């Protein structure tokens, strides 16, 4: 049941072997061609139109505002949790003191 089943040898077809291309020999006398730079090229810098620059700046500001709002909401959640825990601690302390005074008076 768990033994592998291999195909019979007569159904095996080998993969076609592709011939490898002959290696290209480089001569030392001919230098490699260098791509020509356009006259407007500034050394790999990307030029943006004013509208594109404005859109990128607006997107960056929106991203910073989104991250800031997430950070503020997380800090607010921590603050609310701390206040709730401190209030419950004060209430429990009050109840424990009230129970101790009740047992002492008996």
Is the alpha carbon torsion for 40, 45, 47, 50 positive or negative?
A: negative
Q: How far is CA 54 from CA 13, 39, 81, in A?
A: 62, 26, 41
Q: What is the pLDDT of residue 39?
A: 57
Q: Which tokens go with 22? A: 């002959």
Whether residue 63 is predicted with pLDDT greater than 80 in this model: the reply is yes
Rounded mean pLDDT, 43-66: 86
Give the start-to-end residue ranges of the domains of the chain: 81-106
């Amino acid at each position: 049941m768990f033994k592998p089943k291999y195909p019979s040898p007569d159904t095996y077809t080998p993969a076609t072997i592709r011939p490898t291309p002959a290696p290209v020999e480089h001569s030392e006398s001919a230098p490699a061609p260098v791509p020509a730079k356009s006259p407007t090229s500034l050394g790999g810098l990307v030029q943006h139109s004013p509208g594109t620059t404005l859109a990128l700046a607006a997107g960056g500001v929106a991203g910073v505002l989104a991250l800031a709002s997430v950070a503020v909401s997380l800090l607010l959640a921590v603050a609310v949790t701390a206040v709730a825990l401190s209030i419950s601690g004060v209430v429990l302390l009050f109840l424990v003191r009230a129970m101790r005074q009740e047992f002492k008076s008996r």
